[in-house]
Amino acid sequence: MKPDDKRIWEKLTDDNDRWRKKRKGKEDYQTINAVIDGNTTKILSGLQTRGIIGTITGTIASGKESGVFLAKLGSKGKAICDDLSVGSPIVIKVFRTSTLNFKKIQQYISGDIRFRKYSKKTRNVVKLWVEKEYRNLHRSNSAGVNVPKPILVKGNVLLMELIGIEGFPSPLLKVVPQEATENTMTAILAQIKILYQKASLIHADLSPYNILIKNSVPYLIDMSQSVTTSHPKAKEFLERDLNNILFYFSTKGVNSPATETIFNDITMNELNSD
């Protein structure tokens, strides 16, 4: 990070936050350096000046393709997302434009009727990828699926509701194996069915790494790659999602049904006939 960007970043963040204090250490700075480039710093700074976000209070996660930060909602942010109050904890997902795998992305964009007219220029693809996650979250949320409520997208930055308790992010299913019960499995399969039938979407990267557990309730996250049910590979993606989930629960000793049975139920039995 250049000295100027570092100064702006320091203004954006709040060292006294209790989450930051708990996590403070090398990890924060490594993530920031890897994820936040000059352009992203400007976007975040602009969002803060406009009152959409308040201070950035810490780092939640750092992946190969994104960095996820914790922040507070600003007063103008509340105007965009009426359900949340000013100062409530939100998540900032920053997509790392330099490490995005364009080849992988293509298959989820082409074939999705919503993105038929997209341009193949690099910058556009990144913007589209972020926009796609926003739209997928919005569509899922409106259909009643448990997902973080999206707030806003700007360049490579996506703001959304924090899935967490008292400002602390909820854990991934992967790290709370004690939650891998039959009830949780049934609840996840029910979410996949609502997603399919009410939102006409398939997650397409579902695994215990993309499900958060809050008060024993599953929330689906990470939806850039999610596609409409009319995508040519829809069947393959749904099968893969189901295999991942059913296999995981079977390794935890849960008596899991066959993929085909669940696949047929999701695609053929209407929700309200359950």
Per-position DSSP letters for 58-77, written without gaps between them: EEEEE-SSEEEEEEEE-HHH
**What is the separation of C-alpha 117 from the centre of its chain, rounded to a whole number of angstroms?**
24
162 binds, among ligand ATP, Mg ion, none (CB under 5 to 8 A by kind): ligand ATP
Query: Quick one: which of 74, 77, 164, 218 contacts ligand ATP (CB under 6 A)?
Result: 164
Please give the residue ranges that form the binding site for Mg ion (CB under 5 A). Answer: 210, 222
Helix, strand, or coil here: 196?
helix
64 binds, among ligand ATP, Mg ion, none (CB under 5 to 8 A by kind): ligand ATP
Q: Give the footprint of ligand ATP on residues 90-149 (CB under 6 A).
A: 91, 93, 148
CA angle 75, 81, 84 (to 5 degrees): 75
Query: Quick one: which of 65, 72, 129, 201 contacts ligand ATP (CB under 6 A)?
Result: 65
Name the minimum Å distance from CB 267 to ligand ATP.
26
* Torsion sign, CA atoms 137, 223, 231, 236: negative
Burial class for 232, CB neighbours closer than 10 Å (0-12, 13-18, 19+): exposed
Name the minimum Å distance from CB 34 to ligand ATP.
12
The answer to whether 163 contacts ligand ATP (rule: CB under 6 A) is yes
CA distances from 104 to 107, 115, 150 (A): 6, 16, 24
Q: Please report, as ranges, the residues that interact with ligand ATP according to CB under 6 A.
A: 60-61, 63-66, 68, 91, 93, 148, 160, 162-164, 169, 172, 209-210, 212, 221-222
